[in-house]
């Protein structure tokens, strides 16, 4: 009888142990099934990437996904290594803002072969065969800048300061504003004194270009800055020579400092891209891809080798006349932030 009791106790203990093991193993399986998304940024120096990061991570977490953030600090080799790290971490999806549109492609193709879905975020990867490209109509961004500046300065001397040659968007912006400016150039109405490219989007390139031109005696009527940082560099050179506000200057991204310059009168315009819509949709699409859902897109973009599904959002031209409705009304910046340097008695009614 005693032997039977001992055997019974052993059996019960074995069953309990098995249940505990099964329970722990089940928890591990559930944990392993949690969606992992690698979010890769080229840097966090530019103001808008900080907003994209925060919005994306917030939305992804709300959908139950884990986000692994990687910052390449404008280093192509580091970003390649970070892709390898995400592959080792067995992420389901990589959402990448590529630093170098060309060199990152081979490692992304390798990740894709291992079953990881790839979303190129705001910047296209050349010959990367990514699963999806999500951005704005970047050619239209350039067209908006060029058309507005040309309308206000139909004749005169122009300076064009393009973005980084490593960034595919820089070429799309250039395509946009040059499609508007070139007929005026061909007609002899405007002359482009300089058409330069700013490595890594460095505003020093804009500052040096404008400083050199003005100091040489050149008269400048308009400056196309491919983003607000380049516009800022150009305006800093103009400020030092008491020319700010007398030369038309474009930018894009609707940085807070750019919006402040617009209402103060030193920058003519910016182009607002509703990044909240982009970032939230990108997080949602990443989760969908991780769950095996099909991509639905009416547009495609050629990456030099493949036609990539392209989900694009519309940009908006912003100047002093619609700052309140477009920027403040959309909650992108606060009224008191934008008009900080303007006497409060002159603030517009919200």
User: Strands of 190-197's sheet, edge to edge?
Assistant: 190-197, 156-162, 222-225, 248-250
Question: What is the SS3 assignment for 67-89?
Answer: EEEEECCCCHHHHHHHHHHHHHC
pLDDT in tens, 199-235: 999 999 999 999 999 999 999 999 999 999 999 999 9
Tokens for 203, please give them.
Answer: 């505003």
Q: In the predicted model, is pLDDT for residue 26 greater than 50?
A: no
pTM, full prediction: 0.83
pLDDT in tens, 116-155: 999 999 999 999 999 999 999 999 999 999 999 999 999 9
Mean pLDDT for the stretch of residues 64-90: 97
Place of tokens 């969606």: 35
Domains along the sequence of the chain with CATH: 35-135+275-313 (3.40.50.2300), 138-273+316-346 (3.40.50.2300)
Whole-number percent of the chain with pLDDT over 70 = 91
CB of 80 within 8 A of CB of 99?
no
Query: What are the two backbone dihedrals, phi and then psi, of residue 257, each rounded to the nearest 5 degrees?
Result: -65, -35
CB of 72 within 8 A of CB of 99?
yes
pLDDT in tens, 252-300: 999 999 999 999 999 999 999 999 999 999 999 999 999 999 988 889 9
* Residues sharing a CB contact under 8 Å with residue 342, sequence separation 6 or more, in sequence order: 263, 264
Cα separation, 112 vs 105, in Å, equals 10
């Amino acid at each position: 009888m005693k032997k039977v009791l001992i055997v019974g106790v052993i059996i019960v203990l074995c069953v309990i142990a098995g249940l505990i093991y099964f329970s722990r193993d089940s928890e591990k399986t559930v944990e392993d099934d949690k969606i992992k998304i690698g979010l890769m940024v080229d840097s966090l120096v530019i103001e808008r990437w900080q907003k994209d990061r925060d919005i994306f991570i917030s939305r992804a977490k709300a959908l139950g996904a884990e986000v692994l953030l990687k910052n390449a600090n404008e280093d192509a080799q580091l970003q390649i290594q970070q892709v390898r790290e995400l592959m080792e971490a067995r992420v389901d999806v990589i959402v990448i803002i590529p630093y170098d549109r060309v060199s990152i492609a081979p490692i992304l193709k390798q990740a894709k072969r291992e079953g990881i879905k790839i979303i190129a975020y705001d910047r296209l990867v050349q010959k990367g065969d990514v699963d999806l490209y999500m951005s704005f109509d970047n050619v239209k961004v350039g067209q908006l800048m060029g058309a507005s500046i040309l309308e206000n300065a139909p004749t005169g001397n122009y300076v064009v300061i393009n973005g980084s040659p490593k960034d595919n968007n820089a070429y799309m912006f250039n395509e946009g504003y040059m499609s508007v400016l070139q007929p005026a150039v061909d007609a002899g109405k405007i002359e482009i004194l300089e058409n330069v490219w700013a490595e890594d989007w460095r505003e020093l390139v804009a500052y040096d270009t404008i400083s050199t031109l003005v100091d040489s005696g050149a008269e400048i009527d308009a400056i196309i800055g491919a983003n607000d940082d380049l516009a800022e560099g150009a305006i800093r050179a103009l400020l030092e020579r008491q020319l700010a506000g007398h030369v038309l200057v474009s930018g894009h991204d609707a940085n807070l400092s750019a919006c402040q310059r617009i209402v103060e009168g030193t920058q003519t315009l910016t182009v607002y891209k509703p990044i909240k819509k982009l970032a939230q949709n990108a997080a949602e699409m990443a989760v969908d891809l991780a769950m095996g859902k099909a991509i639905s897109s009416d547009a495609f973009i050629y990456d030099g080798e493949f036609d990539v599904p392209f989900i694009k959002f519309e940009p908006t031209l912003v100047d002093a006349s619609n700052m309140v409705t477009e920027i403040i009304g959309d909650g992108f910046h606060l009224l008191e932030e934008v008009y900080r340097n303007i006497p409060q008695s002159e603030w517009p009614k919200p």
